[in-house]
């Protein structure tokens, strides 16, 4: 896991930018400009263990009561396949790769739904393929 204060390290979200110039600003409270940026920042939050950010960006009507991250998970990469926006709603299809403990790598292929309210994007839910 990348230390959250290593702002010159490449951003885990897969964009060709340092963390400080990429997802760090959304983690610091700036609103993500679109659903894809929010989804990438949420992936990075999983990598960095930023549970508060995950809660803050989950739509309040769909947010779970609790969220615990598996400390034994190693995130291996993110591939955004598709981002489709229609006004205040959007979908992002992605594949996230991770490994739990010493096990085999796993691919999570998901299409996530997002909604924009008061100029802020929120994760609503996702369908795993």
Residue 16 is encoded by which pair of tokens? Answer: 């060709």
**Collapsed DSSP state (helix, strand, coil) of residue 119:** coil
**What confidence score (pLDDT) does residue 102 get?**
84
Residue 82 is encoded by which pair of tokens? Answer: 């598709």
Please report the domains of the chain, with CATH numbers, ordered by start residue.
19-128 (3.10.450.50)
Residues of the chain with confidence (pLDDT) below 50: 1-4
**What confidence score (pLDDT) does residue 6 get?**
66
pTM as predicted: 0.92
Task: For residue 22, give the DSSP letter.
Answer: T
**What confidence score (pLDDT) does residue 5 get?**
54
C-alpha distance from residue 28 to each of 19, 31, 112, 121 (Å):
12, 9, 23, 15
* Phi, psi (deg, nearest 5) at residue 17: -150, 155
Alpha helices in the chain (DSSP H): 24-27, 35-48, 51-56
- CB atoms < 10 A from the CB of 34, how many? 16
């Amino acid at each position: 896991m990348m230390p959250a204060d290593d702002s010159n390290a490449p951003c885990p979200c897969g964009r060709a930018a340092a963390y400080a110039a990429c997802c760090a600003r959304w983690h610091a409270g700036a609103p993500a400009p679109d659903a894809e940026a929010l989804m990438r920042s949420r992936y990075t939050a999983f990598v960095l263990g930023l549970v508060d950010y995950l809660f803050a960006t989950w739509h309040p009507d769909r947010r779970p009561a609790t969220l615990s991250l598996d400390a034994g998970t190693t995130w291996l990469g993110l591939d955004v396949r598709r981002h489709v926006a229609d006004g205040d709603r959007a979908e992002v299809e992605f594949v996230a790769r991770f490994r739990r403990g010493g096990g085999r790598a796993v691919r999570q292929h998901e299409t996530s739904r997002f909604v924009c309210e008061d100029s802020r994007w929120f994760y609503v839910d996702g369908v795993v393929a």
